[in-house]
Chain A
Amino acid sequence: MNTINQYYAGLDMGSVSIKAVIISNQKITGWALIPSGGNYKTAATTVMTQALAAAKIRREDLCGIGVTGLGAQSTPFDARPMSDISCQARGCHVFFPSARTLIDIGGQFTKTAKITDKGKIADFLMSEKCATGSGRFLQVISRILQVPIEEIGELSLTSQHPIKFSTNCAVFAESETISRIAEGAKPADILAGVHKAMASKVNMLLKRIKLAPDVVLTGGGGEDAGLAKAIGQIIGHPILVPPNPRLTAAFGAACLTMETTSG
């Protein structure tokens, strides 16, 4: 079936934000991203409306909708829920066909996966239910340092002497950060220390799934250049980041829907 000029939507209903992506022939033609808020259904409808507007099409123009993410079960659309790791893998594969390892750092979890040359999951591992293994850790620290989350990456890159956290627990790290601020530590050094702590947690997961290059970083963590650098250093491989890494799962969901719908 010819899929050119056919539109598909992917919706990633994450714990922190909901993203909608519209694609045509594996190219993004419109997208939107909003906070998940308290009501998944309302947020999903809103973000889809915005993405459709950005793509300049109507709901009726869509040939299919794929949905993924922790909130996928609450979708208001007639859509097939899909595994977010598989969607991430699919999305990464389109951007980087050479990708064999995926790291997704989202609001609640860090997920790692080995990807086949066809962009499918070969093995995967998720972080434990622990804030240190997720974007939540960065949110906590950025709040204490009063540095907007989108600026922490660049600031961290200016660090000369990253501090070493004596804890791997986000709750204790919060009090430790406050102590370090009181001792006069620079925000850049604190952030670089946080990035190192997170990178070492990610590295543990990657060792267990036996990482293979190329390595791609997605999710909110992918927007943090300091974190990408810290992970790259600890694993000894360059880190690839797709454009707008928070959209990869939604993009992958749209691509998978296109493949399954068009046969």
Chain B
Amino acid sequence: MDTQSQVKTTAVKGTDTAREVRPMVKDIYKAAHEARENGKKVAYMMVASHYDEILRAMDIVPLPTENYAGLCAAKRDMDRFLLRAEADGYSQVLCSYARIGLGFDSLRKELGHIPEGSPDGGMPLPDMMIGSSAICDPRFKWYQATSRYLEAPTFSIDVVAPPPQADLNRVRDYYINYQKEQFQGLIEFCEKQTHTKMDKEKLWEAIRLGDKAWQLWYDIDRLRVAIPSPMPSQDHFSIMVAGHYYTGTQKAVDFYQKLYDEVKYKADNHIGVIKDEKYRILYGGGLPPWHTLWIFNYFESFGAVFAIENVYRGFDPVQVPSHVTDPVDFLAWRTWLRATAYHEKARQNSGNPTVEKLLGIIKDYAIDGVMFHACRSCRATTVGQTHIKTELGKYCDLPMMQLVSDMVDLRDYSEAQWKAQIGAFIDALEARTDQE
């Protein structure tokens, strides 16, 4: 066991391509600053809301505020923003991503400029803010609260998904029509802010690039069934930058093509992340601990590799029917198909789409154990996690562990407790191997 005290936050990556992500992250903020200087529009935005291509088609530069919070944590420069938001009255149980964003904007307002030394130069003031109900409530309300600190028009889009037991054939058209109205509303909002009409051809092009990148990303993840694992989860938490923050761009396509080639080479030549892969772990859910990503390497020191993960993944590719010829219709259909991808399976088995997805992963990736990360301030990925773990336990007999902290707030993290749990988890994996 590694007895050295760890101070760094990042993890050693498994692939060379993943090491190219850091400049891409820097470029997100650089591009936003340059856009402001050049009179282009910049939007605070929420990832995985299915609307990225609309922004690209309208030449609006996306500024993902959640990512900025993760970046601050990876740089261990989050406390001043968290504390500021809390001093402004936001509870410690509010999403820490939102607290960092609100704290950053609050400090900027007070200082009259970006707080000194902010990671990657800080976020410039946005021209607009586009919230989203996809995944959680803070993403819908966050920018409304930000209006305390800056003046920029806000639009929050509703992204809907039916419950697993719904009669999909009966409700489908209602959902798709409603979703289309929501996208249409966003387009009108963007047109008003940019004084430009949406060009449908440009939207089709962005969709084409977006889908191509995500197909490649999916193909890369399928390569990861290889034993030994050619690409670990810590790489995923870097390479997702292309899929989530460069959606609808050629840059994302090129990046994933390069990564695909590297992972394929490693898989074909049995080049694993570590020399002696003993256990293949599934990161079952919860946001990554951005403050302590080296923990993945700590697992590796026991021969345990995170072969795959179930968070911040691209959606599995879906087949939108060929009769859909309008790009906004296409987006609405795609959103529906993505949201219902595991509903049928769920109805036939556990009743829970997430459990079904995990069961499929466990089988395909020859998983030996599952780890969940409960993030105290992320209700969306934490509420229900214990239930999912329990349900999963009914269908597979694998050691599972739930580590508790937060995605960015270090005050919820205890290194000693994590190491104690990880030690026991590894012993449980070993005991299982002994019995086989």
Contacts and interface: CB of A to CB of B under 8 A. Distances in A.
Interface in B84-99: none
A124 interface: yes
Given A81-B3, A82-B423, A120-B434, A126 B428 contact: no
Given A126-B421, A129-B417, A83 B3 contact: no
Interface in B368-410: 386, 390, 399-402, 404
Contact of A129 (B400, B404, B422, B435): B404
Contacts of A61: none
B426 A73 contact: no
B420 to A, nearest CB: 6
Contact of A120 (B400, B402, B412, B427): B427
Nearest to B1: A81
A254 interface: no
B1 A80 contact: yes
A73 B417 contact: no
A81 B2 CA distance: 9
Residue among B3, B419, B427 with max Cβ neighbours from chain A (10 Å): B427
Contacts of B318: none
Contacts of A51: none
Contacts of B421: 124, 126
Nearest to B435: A116
Given A116-B431, A118-B431, A121-B428, A83 B390 contact: no
Nearest to B389: A208
Interface in A77-99: 80-86
Interface in A117-133: 118, 120-126, 128-129
A121 B424 contact: yes
Contacts, number: 69
Given A73-B3, A80-B1, A128-B404, A121 B420 contact: no
A247 interface: no
Nearest to A69: B420
Contact of B428 (A70, A124, A129): A124
Contacts of A83: 420, 422-424, 426-427
Interface residues of B, number: 29
B269 interface: no
B416 interface: yes
B414 interface: yes
Interface size grouping (class) on chain A: 20 to 34
A90 to B, nearest CB: 10
A125 B404 CA distance: 12
Interface string A46-79: 0000000000000000000000001101010000
B5 interface: yes
B420 A85 contact: yes
Nearest to A75: B3
A169 to B, nearest CB: 15
A126 B434 contact: no
Nearest to B400: A123
A113 interface: yes
A121 B431 contact: yes
Contacts of B201: none
Contact of A73 (B5, B399, B401): B5
A109 interface: yes
B430 interface: yes
Contacts of A118: 431, 434
Contacts of A116: 431, 435
A75 B430 CA distance: 25
A237 to B, nearest CB: 21
B427 A85 contact: yes
Nearest to A113: B424
Given A73-B3, A81-B1, A128-B404, A120 B431 contact: yes
A208 B390 contact: yes
Contact of B419 (A73, A109, A125, A129): A73
Which 9 pairs show the lowest CB-CB distances between chains A and B? Answer: A83-B423, A120-B431, A85-B424, A86-B427, A83-B424, A121-B428, A70-B416, A121-B427, A81-B1
Given A122-B431, A123-B428, 12 more contacts: A73-B416, A75-B3, A81-B1, A81-B3, A83-B426, A118-B431, A121-B427, A121-B431, A122-B428, A123-B400, A124-B421, A129-B404
13 contacts: A71-B416, A81-B1, A81-B423, A82-B423, A84-B424, A85-B423, A116-B435, A118-B434, A120-B431, A120-B434, A122-B428, A122-B432, A129-B404
Interface of B: 1, 3, 5, 386, 390, 399-402, 404, 412, 414, 416-417, 419-428, 430-432, 434-435
